[in-house]
Amino acid sequence: MSPELYSIKGGQDHSNEIDVDNLLDIQKEMLKTINYVDEYSWKKGELGGLDWGIEAFNQAFDGLQPGLMMIAGQPNIGKSALCMNLAWTIANSNKEVTEKKPNKAYVIYFSLDDNDTELLPRFIAIDQKIPINVVKAPKKYEDDVVHMARREDGINNLKGILDHFKIIDSKQGTSIEFIEEQIKRHQMELHMKDESYKIVAIVDNFHDITVDSQNFSSVNKRYDHIAGEISRISTMFDIPFLCTGEFRKLNGNRRPIVDDVRETVKIAYEAKAILLCYNEVGLRGDASSVYWQKPGEESKQPVMEVKIGKNKYSSFKHRIFFEFMPAMSYLKEVPLEGAKRYNQMIIG
């Protein structure tokens, strides 16, 4: 019987063949690892991961890849809105398998702050670019034919994305154990239907996650445990895991750094990326020097700055800008030329 030959793909020498029958078991184990990683790398596609649906994020992180990513910011500056926009664009940008994108996305949005009656109108508003209040209180706007038609379109679009998107609010659970169980259950059901699905877990907010299985002597130890568990879950299920997070109390309105994230040490260690959010209009109002204006209006509109404070996916550590429309919970990506202009405003 001829010996089994194994051809290794991916190296410079594509003709290299190994006589597997003559390998020790420990060598076979390493060979198996080499070929698994090679195959895994090829399966990531041209982007390197899922499609963010936002070009600047694709370039910054080589696509959406597995690992914990923290999206940190002060209260009420729009970090939840950013997370919701990301959830919506990821779900809508990964519906089909292509050569460039070998996986479909299924986004699970865990909201530990707001319930579904608050969340669903915001997603519809993001989709249709209409005021949130139009969705939340349709009776008040029922004579507005245009807005009512777009509201209906938004509801239908939400129904049409059931294969790729789900909201789980705090009424159902807030613990890290609950989050892991939901990810496990959803992945099992999805893979019975189609193994190309990749779950994306988004949690708003990290600092609201609880722990059922044990008690801790300090809040810091609880958050250390949660950060480690999220990293483990992300690795186990091979999924991207995005979390919003809070800063310590900042002095003044300065732009944040990684050390401003609450309980930084463990989070900074476990996170593959940390995104620092800043919205000068939200903090300084009319005194803001970084803003955008709607045509025909004098009021300053907020610009969401997303500074990449840590990035283990690529060397990108710059700012990404969005023009923020709070009434719609919608953020519009700023193209390169606009980003240069906003950077110049910051530099002064």
pLDDT given at position 29? 87
CA torsion sign for 314, 320, 326, 330 is: negative
Rounded to 10°, the helix 116-128/79-93 angle is 60
Rounded to 10°, the helix 219-237/176-193 angle is 10
Q: CATH number of the domain at 63-347, please?
A: 3.40.50.300
pLDDT given at position 47? 61
Helix, strand, coil percentages (3-state) for the chain, rounded to 5, are 45, 20, 35
- Give 10-residue mean pLDDT values along the chain (348 residues): 42 59 86 80 71 95 95 92 97 91 94 92 97 96 96 96 96 96 97 95 95 92 94 96 89 85 85 96 91 89 96 94 96 92 86
pLDDT given at position 113? 85
Cα–Cα distance, 103 to 196 (Å, whole number): 5
Cα–Cα distance, 90 to 97 (Å, whole number): 14
Task: Please spell the DSSP secondary structure of 240-264, one letter per residue.
Answer: EEEEEEEBPPPSTTPPP-GGGBTTH
pLDDT given at position 298? 86
C-alpha closest to that of 31 among 15, 12, 8, 10: 8
Report the predicted TM-score, pTM, of the whole model to 2 decimal places: 0.87
Strand locations in the chain (E): 5-7, 17-19, 67-73, 104-111, 165-169, 197-204, 240-246, 273-278, 303-311, 319-325, 330-333
Q: What residue segments make up the domains of the chain, in order of their start?
A: 63-347
What residues contact residue 56 under an 8 Å CB cut-off, 6+ apart? 320, 333, 339
189, amino acid identity: E
The partner residues of 278 in beta bridges, in order of sequence, read 305
